[in-house]
Every structure is written in structure tokens, then in C-alpha cells.
Amino acid sequence: MKKYLINILYGFLAWLIPFVASFFFYTREGELTINILFFKSIMIVVGSFSAAFLLVSYFKKINADYFTQIEVMYLAIPAMSIAVGTALENKK
């Protein structure tokens, strides 16, 4: 049960950090104080850095065997992408 609560907490923090950061770019009336494209770029960077920090802190607690067991399975992702791409290219 504790594992699920920790996962929910990390998920909540992944949402909360960019949400709180966005408050600094709005007025009390709800108007954006900077260009919308610049705001979106900042939010992508904030979300990426906070996600990276949360991932590193989460995976520090995971057993190292997990990575050796799952890394081979992740090779299936590019293999399937290459197969589908090749099939679509040959279809032309």
C-alpha cells in the first residue's frame, strides 16, 4: 500500500510543480504577463526539469536488478517502430 501512495505522491508533484510555477506568470485578473509561446516554452522546461528530478529521486529507491531486467524489453520499442516504418516505406 505504501508503494501506491508514493506513486500517487510523485504523480501529484509532477502536476503541482509546473502548476505552481505558472502562477508567477499571471496577474490577479488571470491575464498572462508574457508572450504565450514564451510561457509554453518555460512550462515545458519547468516540467522537464521537475520530471527529471522526480524520476531520479524515485529510481534511487528501486532495486538495481529492475534495470537489467527491463532494459532488454525496451529494445522492442525501436524494433517495432523500425518494422512499421519499413513496412510503410515499402508500401509506396
- pLDDT 10s digit of each residue in the chain, 92 long? 888 999 999 999 999 999 999 999 999 999 999 999 999 999 999 999 999 999 999 888 777 676 677 777 888 888 999 999 999 998 87
Find out whether 9 and 53 touch, Cβ atoms under 8 Å.
no
pLDDT of 68: 74
Alpha carbon of 18 to those of 1, 4, 92: distances in Å? 27, 22, 43
Helix, coil or strand: residue 32: strand
User: Can you tell me the distance from the alpha carbon of 17 to that of 60, in angstroms, rounded to the nearest whole number?
Assistant: 20
- Residue 27 is placed in which grid cell? 496577474
pLDDT of 75: 81
pLDDT of 74: 83
Helices and strands in the chain, H and E counts = 4, 0
pLDDT of 25: 96
pLDDT of 82: 93
H or E element at residue 52: helix 36-59
